[in-house]
Amino acid sequence: MFIASLIVAALLLNIGLAQTHSRRQRSVADAIVAQEQAPAFASGVDDDHDGIDDGLEQMLAEIHAPVLFIEHDESNYPVNVDWFLARGHLQYHEDCTFDTDGDRGSNPISTQANLLGPPGALWAGGPNCGEDDTGYSHPPHRQLTTIAADPDGQFSVGALTTGYSDQQTFVIPDLDDQFRVGSTNPLDWKTYFHVYPGADGGVMIQYWHLFAYNELGVAGIGDHGGDWDASIQVKLSNTLQVEGVWFSRHDRDKPGDFFDKTNPRLHFLAGTRHPLMAIDGGGHAAFADPDDFCDNHASIAGGQIAWPFGLKDPTNPATLSTFATQLGSCVVSDDPAGGIVWQTWTGGSVLASGDITHPISAPSGHGGLINLGEYNPCTDTRCFGTAQASSLLAGEFHPLNGQIFIRYSGKWGSLPHIQGIAGQPPRGPVFQGFDDRGPDHTSVYTAWYNEGANQPASNDGNHPWLVPPTTAITTLGPVFTAGGATCVSGTTRFNLSATQNTIAGQFGGPKTFFRVFPVGGAAPEFVQFNSPFSLPGPDGSYEIDYFSVDALNNSSLVQSALFTRDTAPPAITCPSNIIINTANPGDATVMVTFSAPLASDNCSVASVICSPASGSQFPLGSTTVTCTATDGVLNQSTCAFTVTVFDSCLQDDQTGDFLRWNSASGNYLFTHCGSNPFTLSGTGTVGNVNNVRTLTDNRADHRINATLNMGQLTGRAVIVLIPAPGVFQTLVVNQTNPHPRCACT
């Protein structure tokens, strides 16, 4: 859940931005019609341009952030850059016969912008001396700025020479004594991190901490201000598995000692990827465990760390024991002395226990986990004889979270009174771990881009964790494609499913986003897909845009699908009613055929079915035929007509008038042909005597008497019309033809 919440946070960070993307005119003929870049709010935010999504950088840094143990007698606590600048001032220093130490800017510095220089300009100084210097170890002086690309290297006119030198530099002098303990409020403690692509296709994560002072010297010799330390670097493989961790030491910060994942001295918080890390009191070097500390703590002043006894409860500060070195030996306290446990990830706590020399506010939160972004000042024309450990983003400056201080190339503490001894203050993360390789080789800042790639990460086959997810759309319910349109009903639902690479699957599940709008209409913002949905609004053509973001913030392209919403039933028109005689007077049924109903639909008509069907045997009497038209998405409409079957008929040989009747029910229909045709219907009394069928009906407005000789198929009918009392009109049907047509000619 923690990992998933980080992804959601990354998504919500930018979701308020209105998202639009261009769409070409499309035919409704195809469901999937286009692929476009996903909106930046979901993923693809890479403001430091290293090829790693910034949200992913934050997530990986959170997952691998260390648990930091601080011993109970710590003399100098962590702070943050802005806290430090609010108490420091800036000087330009040049080592001449009479040294130049000139203040620059405001006192205190207060802001990171003030550290670099006034708007549109930079703090600069020199040269004031040294014009005749030509040697490697004492190169010629030059004008220097607070953002010198190669602060530890210098060049002369002519042959390029370079060397490690503090002959010229900017300095933030040591803070006043009252501030050197640092902050006792852990809300001021910040962990700065740097994430960049590794040379092997993996990812490197560096963690840095700033302390107000380093107090590990002997009688003050070797102490310095502005300590950038408590630094580790986590190496992830190209499947984002932990390969190992570097721990930075006082004498080995280039970038430190590497502990492979199989090294028994490398420990993690149980069930997590958080490495455990101890720092020596006052000095803040990083150690993997007590054995590492006892073997590798090199200070002649000695030192001590805190470590959870037996690792049974490493987040409980009451379990912390003290390990101390002095004159080559290492001693562990018999009883846990307590100390401070700092869980450096977002939401982690700072806990304290025991007799803390400088009590802190605990339990407490802390100042957070801050992404520094990228800065590589070195290009061939800007750095002569020095270089970063990789050429990634050479000459480019892409800070994140407003951390522009990484561009500052000066010292974070006062220079020692005697040059060349321990106690050199650091230059900050970018210029940490300078490896002076002599006049015949390029000297390298080995920490900032340790084992870094020379190019931003990309989905090039070497970074399988960058393979984006795929997204599929499926329909649940009626769907029909014909005539250039894909139609769905009002109840058809759409399901979106995403598939991510197996590496992303280690960190959580993918998320899918979509939007729906009428074709040609304004596109709304994307929303997260949670469950199947139907097309909203009235019938018509709609566009569905969708994409997915995996657990590593890789995004698929936006895909577009076009569908026609169709809830209108098809139109249907049935044939006219049918009246028919059986083939023979004695038949009980007759086969009836009829034309298919006419049907149409705004999408397409899939089927028309009549019951009874054309060609069926119809019985005597009236039968209703019901026809149903069903379109491709199961909208339906019906129509009906009747088929009336008679088994007796007499037709006049001369006039063509004819009388039909049902010998079972007595229903009859008389049809008068000619210039004034009419019909007369009713139900009379039927009989059958000596194979002669009879029909009689006596009504106030008409009378009928008919006989049909079944043997000869001849007969006679008399129809008397009585339009008014006493007024009679007689019509006679005389049939001698045994095969009447029973239809007007």
Length of the chain in residues, anyone? 745
Q: Is 558 helix (H, G, I), strand (E, B) or coil?
A: strand
Question: pLDDT at position 1, please?
Answer: 37
Question: In angstroms, what CA-CA distances link 237 with 245, 259, 371, 373, 552?
Answer: 12, 14, 21, 21, 15
User: DSSP label at 510?
Assistant: -
Identify the pLDDT of residue 420: 52
**DSSP symbols for 523-544:** ----EE--S-EE--SSSEEEEE
**Percent of the residues in the chain that have a pLDDT greater than 90, as a whole number:** 74
Band the pLDDT of 22: cuts 50, 70, 90: very low
Give the residue, 306 or 132, on which the prediction is more confident: 306
CA dihedral 121, 123, 128, 131 (to 10 degrees): -70
- Segment 527-555 shows an average pLDDT of 95
- Whether the CA torsion 138, 141, 142, 147 is positive or negative: it is positive
What is the model's pLDDT at position 35? Answer: 56
Amino acid, res. 119: P
Distance CA 394, CA 317 (A): 44
- Where b means 16+ CB within 10 Å and e means fewer, 703-739 reads bbebbbebeebbbbbebbbeeeeeeeeebebbbeeee
Which residue blocks in 284-346 are alpha helix, DSSP H? 290-296
The DSSP letter of residue 614 is T
pLDDT category, 603, cuts 50, 70, 90?
confident
pLDDT attached to residue 322? 94
pLDDT digits (tens, 9 = 90+) for 560-591: 999 999 999 999 999 999 999 999 998 999 99
CA distances from 351 to 72, 188, 315 (A): 12, 15, 8
**DSSP letters for 389-433:** SS-TTTTEEEESTT-GGGG--SBSSPPPSSTTSS-PPP--GGG-S
Q: How far is CA 716 from the centre of its chain?
A: 89
Average pLDDT over residues 290-296: 91
Paired tokens of 405: 């201080």
- The whole-number pLDDT of residue 441 equals 82
Burial 280-310 (b: 16+ CB within 10 A, else e): bbbbbbbbbbbebbbebbebebbbbbbbbbe
- The percent of residues above 70 in pLDDT, for the chain, comes to 90
How many whole angstroms separate alpha carbon 370 and alpha carbon 403? 9
For residue 303, the model assigns a pLDDT of 87
Higher pLDDT, 152 or 189: 189
The pTM is what? 0.80
Return the exposure string of 28-64: e unless at least 16 CB atoms fall within 10 Å of the residue's CB, then b.
Answer: beebebbeeebbebbbbbbebebbbbbbbbbbbbbbb
Report how far residue 178's alpha carbon sits from residue 278's, in angstroms, rounded to the nearest whole number.
Answer: 26
Give the count of beta carbons closer than 10 Å to the beta carbon of residue 612: 14
The residue-averaged pLDDT of 363-391 equals 93
Does domain 571-646 match CATH 3.30.565.10? no
Helix (H) or strand (E) holding 131: none
Greatest mean pLDDT among 47-61, 164-178, 204-218 lies in 47-61
User: Lowest mean pLDDT: which of 182-191, 229-238, 474-483?
Assistant: 474-483
Element (H, E) at 352: strand 350-354
- Provide the pLDDT for residue 166: 77
* Confidence (pLDDT) at 362: 94
Per DSSP, the chain holds a count of helices (H) and strands (E) of 5, 52
- Report d(CA 296, CA 132) in Å as an integer: 43
Of 350 and 14, the structure prediction assigns the larger pLDDT to 350
What is the pLDDT averaged over residues 251-274? 94
pLDDT of residue 745: 83
Instruction: Name the one residue in this structure whose structure tokens are 């931005």.
Output: 17
Query: Which of 636, 635, 631 has its CA nearest to residue 483?
Result: 631
**Res 21 pLDDT > 80:** no
Q: Specify the amino acid at residue 635.
A: N
* Mean pLDDT within 382-404: 93
* Predicted pLDDT at 9: 39
285: alpha, beta or left? (left if phi > 0; alpha if psi -120 to 50): beta
Question: How many other C-beta atoms are found inside a 10 Å radius of the C-beta of residue 140?
Answer: 18
Q: Tens of pLDDT along 415-461? A: 886 555 556 889 999 999 988 887 778 889 999 999 999 999 999 99
Tell me the average pLDDT across 102-114: 96
Strand-pairing partners, residue 374, are 398
How crowded is the C-beta side of 611, counted as CA atoms within 13 Å? 4
Instruction: Give the pLDDT mean for 28-52.
Output: 64
CB-facing half-sphere around the CA of 214: CA atoms within 13 A: 32
CB 616 within 8 A of CB 623: no
HEC letters along 208-222: EEEEEEECCCECCEC
Tens of pLDDT, residue by residue over 201-215, are 999 999 999 999 999
| Cβ atoms of 636 and 606 closer than 8 Å | no
The answer, yes or no, to whether residue 377 has pLDDT greater than 60, is: yes
Q: Provide CB contacts within 8 A for 474, sequence distance 6+.
A: 494, 495, 497
Q: pLDDT (tens digit, 9 = 90+) per residue, 308-328?
A: 988 989 999 999 999 998 766
Q: Report which of residues 16 and 450 the model is more confident about.
A: 450
Q: Does domain 2-46+473-565 have CATH number 1.10.10?
A: no
Predicted confidence (pLDDT) per residue in 493-537, tens digit: 999 999 999 999 999 999 999 999 999 999 999 999 999 999 998
Q: Is the pLDDT of residue 724 over 90?
A: yes
Residue 728, pLDDT > 50, answer yes
Instruction: Give the three-class secondary structure for 119.
Output: coil
pLDDT at 107: 96
- Tell me: pLDDT of 547 over 70: yes
Residue 28 has pLDDT above 80, yes or no: no
Mean pLDDT of 712-722: 96
Task: Check whether 539 has a pLDDT greater than 50.
Answer: yes
**Cβ contact 55:46 at 8 Å:** no
Residue 586 or 691, more confident: 691
Q: Give the per-residue pLDDT at 384.
A: 76
Question: Across all residues in the chain, what is the average pLDDT?
Answer: 89
Q: How confident is the model at residue 475, as a pLDDT?
A: 96
Q: Is residue 46 predicted with pLDDT exceeding 80?
A: yes
- Asked if 332 and 322 count as a contact pair (C-beta separation under 8 A), the reply is yes
pLDDT given for residue 38 in this prediction: 57
pLDDT band at 216 (very low <50, low <70, confident <90, very high): confident
For 28, the 3-state DSSP assignment is coil
Instruction: Please give the structure tokens belonging to residue 184.
Output: 């006792």
pLDDT of residue 5: 41
Q: Give the three-state DSSP class for 293.
A: helix
